[in-house]
């Protein structure tokens, strides 16, 4: 009987710990999580009540600028130098950035042949790591650039950053992590002229723990970071969106192909992700890459170096 009572107490303790896990992640702008987002398979959440895409609320550049980047900020963008015949575009982040970069690297209609995409996405390496200018991850990234035949000091001129921060529970905290990462980029890739940001998109399908409103909050942190850069002038960095990917899952009807998760028709299906609900499936990675590709072509600053003649 004593052994049975002991076993029941252990089981109750384990259950109590498990019940607290979702509360740790709920509401955190997490982006990719350390450990690769492993967890039990789950149907996830196809729609989150009360969350609106920033683009539908006219807020991807913050309340001051709405959805349109001001022309004066475009005019401040440092020019990307293509005189060497190559423009290095370095994708920086964790495992979701790695998956994105592998797909984005493939040739795409309308992209200049001078663009060379370099994959510096390393599993578990979030903003917490990239913000440290002295971390060895930067040596690994420089090595990747050299392996692509580029000079990391002069030919890596554009960075696409796609990852969140594991240690932040507020937008201001993650914004600070972004700004520290920009300084680290300056230190380790001194030829960088323009930095573009991608959010982690919809995280309601994550199986290991509730991912929303973390994904939505991550987008808010990027919007605040870009708005701050616009308001202060470029300073040391010219920063903007590459593409805003967040849409509210399948939309309010929670049905594939019905009322979309965003007014422009974008939806994120369970099939866009692997079983963990975090990492992109082949279909999801292809969708992400195409959205970013089209956004860069439409961007008056990026198109100067990105678009084919």
**Tens-place pLDDT, residues 143-202:** 999 999 999 999 999 999 999 998 888 999 999 999 999 999 999 999 999 999 999 999
Neighbours of 241 (CB within 10 A): 24
Neighbours of 46 (CB within 10 A): 22
Asked if 254 contacts 200 with a C-beta cutoff of 8 angstroms, the reply is no
Confidence of residue 33 (pLDDT cuts 50, 70, 90): very low
Q: Between 26 and 305, whose confidence is greater?
A: 305
Domains contained in the chain, number: 1
- CA–CA dist 307, 274 (Å, integer): 32
Closest CA to 288 of 94, 98, 69: 98
- Residue labelled with tokens 């987008």: 219
- Average of per-residue pLDDT across 83-111: 97
The domain in which residue 263 lies consists of 2-306
Per-residue pLDDT at 205: 95
Q: Between 67 and 3, whose confidence is greater?
A: 67
Q: Between 161 and 27, whose confidence is greater?
A: 161
Per-residue pLDDT at 210: 62
Per-residue pLDDT at 62: 87
- Average of per-residue pLDDT across 198-225: 91
31: pLDDT strictly greater than 70? no
Helices (H) and strands (E) in the chain, counts: 9, 5
pLDDT in tens, 108-151: 999 999 999 999 999 999 999 999 999 999 999 999 999 999 99
Q: Which whole-number Å values give the CA distances from 169 to 31, 93, 172, 213, 244, in the listed order? A: 12, 19, 9, 11, 21
DSSP 8-state assignment for residue 65: T
- Determine phi and psi for 240, rounding to 5 degrees: -155, 175
Confidence of residue 232 (pLDDT cuts 50, 70, 90): confident
- Average of per-residue pLDDT across 208-221: 88
Per-residue pLDDT at 291: 98
249: pLDDT strictly greater than 80? yes
Confidence of residue 212 (pLDDT cuts 50, 70, 90): very high
CATH number at residue 76: 3.40.50.1110
Asked if 225 contacts 177 with a C-beta cutoff of 8 angstroms, the reply is no
- CA–CA dist 252, 50 (Å, integer): 10
- CA–CA dist 202, 142 (Å, integer): 30
List of residues 6+ apart from 59 with CB closer than 8 A? 66, 67, 223
Per-residue pLDDT at 114: 97
- Average of per-residue pLDDT across 265-278: 96
Per-residue tokens: 94: 């964790």
- Average of per-residue pLDDT across 278-284: 96
Share of residues in the chain with pLDDT > 90 (%): 79
- CA–CA dist 221, 234 (Å, integer): 18
Q: Between 169 and 61, whose confidence is greater?
A: 61
Per-residue pLDDT at 295: 98
Average pLDDT, the chain: 86
């Amino acid at each position: 009987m004593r052994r049975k009572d002991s076993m029941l107490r252990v089981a109750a303790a384990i259950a109590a710990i498990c019940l607290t896990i979702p509360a740790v992640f709920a509401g955190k702008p997490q982006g990719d999580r350390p450990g690769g987002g492993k967890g039990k398979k789950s149907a996830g959440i196809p729609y989150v009540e009360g969350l609106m895409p920033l683009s539908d609320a006219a807020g991807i550049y913050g309340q001051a600028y709405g959805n349109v980047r001001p022309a004066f900020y475009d005019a401040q963008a440092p020019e990307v130098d293509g005189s060497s015949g190559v423009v290095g575009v370095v994708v920086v982040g964790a495992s979701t950035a790695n998956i994105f970069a592998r797909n984005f690297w493939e040739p795409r209609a309308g992209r200049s042949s001078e663009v060379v995409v370099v994959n510096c996405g390393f599993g578990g390496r979030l903003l917490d790591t990239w913000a440290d200018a002295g971390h060895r991850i930067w040596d690994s990234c420089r090595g990747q650039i050299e392996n692509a035949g580029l000079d990391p000091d002069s030919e890596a001129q554009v960075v696409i950053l796609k990852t969140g921060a594991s240690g932040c529970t507020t937008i201001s905290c993650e914004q600070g992590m972004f700004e520290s990462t920009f300084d680290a980029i300056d230190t380790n890739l001194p030829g960088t002229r323009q930095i573009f940001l991608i959010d982690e998109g919809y995280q309601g399908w994550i199986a290991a723990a509730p991912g929303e409103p973390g994904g939505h909050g991550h987008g808010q942190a990027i919007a605040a970071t870009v708005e701050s850069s616009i308001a202060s002038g470029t300073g040391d960095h010219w920063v903007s969106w590459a593409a805003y990917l967040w849409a509210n899952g399948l939309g309010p009807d929670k049905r594939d192909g019905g009322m979309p998760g965003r007014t422009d028709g974008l939806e994120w299906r369970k099939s866009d992700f692997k079983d963990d609900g975090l990492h992109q499936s082949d279909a999801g990675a292809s969708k992400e890459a195409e959205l970013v590709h089209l956004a860069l072509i439409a961007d008056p600053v990026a198109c100067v170096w990105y678009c084919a003649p």
